[in-house]
């Protein structure tokens, strides 16, 4: 009888797979889920190769080689488990840190309200001539900050809590920088040029801080919403620290604050200089409480967007963008410096333009720096 000889596949596949499972178990891959997934991939690979014409034995041997030997797989699983465990411990530690900061910030908010109420009760004239609006605005904003602190504390441990904790850390640094700047303004005998330079530096550090939080959070979570929320939380933390210091200084060093504000007091129409000091503190507090979160939303969003857009760029492109950033910072500073030579009424557009240029450059700095440091970039 003519025809092609019939080929019989004598290889017993199931015992071979069972033996392979024993090798995996012996190598230490004992977690059911990874082993079941590996076997599923192995069987799929075997079926695909059998459909291509391989015998069961050939398909099995090739599939095992494709998926990997037991020792190599165990090494990779060990590395993955170690990495996952490290990430889990980081999430737990940062989650605890974030909750502690939230509790401290809530307590700080209560202390600020107490100091402000004490100042108003001691100097009732502080709520005259617009002071009542400053007081009410500050109370409402501080209550919102307290609600935010309780919300942050209630977040479960995980990636988002990690991002919030990072925002809190940056907020603490920004708050310390604010205290240093205010201390220089109130107690150091520096001239106007030095004070102006310190003021611009403080603005730049604020822009940089919000941009770092937005960029780092997006890089870690891939969420623009979480990037903005973490940036707002950093602003809230730094604001509470700043106001604690500001109100404490105003009340503890009242005579010095009276001397510092004597020019503004003379033009205010008020008759009680101590009440004016308290009103000035509430004015500054209400402005800071409202402006800081808005800035955090904008520049945190810019930082997150920059991180998203710069992920695929080549390192050489990132370096070019870094050079452009330096140029943008220079242009912003030049605009602010030029504004100082103009009449006060004409300075606004140049100062605002300079601060915007400075802010955009500083908010993108972390994303550009990360792209430059990246060893391999997508072509």
Domain boundary assignment for the chain = 13-68, 94-203+224-296
Radius of gyration of the chain (CA): 31
CB of 168 closer than 8 Å to CB of 98: yes
d(CA 116, CA 277): 12
d(CA 324, CA 330): 10
d(CA 80, CA 69): 17
Helix ranges (DSSP H) in the chain? 13-27, 32-51, 56-67, 70-122, 131-154, 159-187, 192-221, 224-252, 254-260, 262-268, 273-310, 315-339, 348-373
pLDDT tens-digit readout, 159-200:
777 788 889 999 999 999 999 999 988 888 777 777 788 888
Mean pLDDT of 6-16: 66
Instruction: Tell me the two tokens of residue 222.
Output: 């891939």
Cβ count near 254 (within 10 Å) = 16
d(CA 105, CA 240): 7
Residues contacting 21, CB < 8 A, separation 6+: 35, 39
CB of 91 closer than 8 Å to CB of 162: yes
CB of 213 closer than 8 Å to CB of 170: yes
pLDDT tens-digit readout, 82-130:
555 565 555 566 667 778 889 999 999 999 999 999 999 999 999 988 8
pLDDT tens-digit readout, 119-150:
999 999 999 888 899 999 999 999 999 999 99
pLDDT at 24: 73
């Amino acid at each position: 009888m003519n025809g092609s000889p019939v080929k019989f596949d004598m290889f017993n596949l199931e015992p071979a797979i069972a033996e392979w499972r024993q090798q995996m178990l012996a190598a230490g891959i004992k977690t059911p889920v990874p082993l079941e997934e590996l076997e599923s991939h192995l069987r799929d690979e075997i079926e695909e190769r059998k459909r291509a014409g391989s015998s069961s034995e050939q398909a099995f041997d090739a599939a095992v080689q494709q998926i990997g030997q037991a020792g190599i797989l165990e090494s990779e699983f060990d590395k993955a488990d170690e990495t996952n465990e490290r990430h889990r411990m980081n999430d737990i530690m940062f989650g605890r840190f974030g909750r502690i900061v939230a509790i401290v910030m809530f307590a700080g908010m209560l202390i600020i309200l107490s100091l402000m109420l004490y100042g108003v009760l001691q100097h009732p004239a502080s709520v005259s001539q617009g002071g009542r609006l400053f007081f009410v605005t500050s109370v409402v904003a501080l209550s919102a900050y307290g609600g935010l602190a309780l919300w942050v504390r209630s977040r479960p441990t995980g990636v988002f809590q990690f991002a919030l904790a990072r925002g809190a850390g940056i907020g603490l640094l920004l708050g310390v920088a604010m205290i240093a700047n205010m201390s220089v303004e109130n107690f150091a005998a520096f001239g106007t040029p030095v004070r102006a330079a310190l003021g611009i530096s403080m603005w730049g550090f604020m822009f940089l801080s919000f941009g770092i939080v937005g960029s780092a959070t997006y890089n870690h979570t891939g969420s623009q919403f979480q990037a903005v929320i973490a940036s707002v939380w950093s602003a809230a933390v730094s604001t509470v620290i700043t106001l604690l210091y500001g109100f404490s200084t105003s009340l503890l060093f009242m005579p010095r604050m009276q001397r510092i504000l004597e020019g503004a007091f003379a033009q205010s129409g008020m008759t009680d200089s101590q009440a004016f000091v308290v009103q000035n503190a509430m004015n500054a507090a209400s402005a800071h409480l409202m402006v800081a979160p808005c800035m955090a939303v904008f520049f945190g969003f810019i930082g997150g967007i920059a991180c998203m857009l710069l992920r695929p760029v080549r390192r050489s492109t990132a370096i070019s963008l870094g050079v452009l950033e330096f140029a943008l910072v220079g242009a912003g500073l030049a605009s602010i410096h030029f504004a100082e030579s103009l009449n006060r009424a004409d300075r606004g557009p140049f100062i605002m333009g300079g601060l915007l240029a400075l802010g955009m450059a500083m908010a993108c700095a972390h994303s550009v720096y990360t792209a430059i440091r990246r060893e391999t970039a997508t072509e």
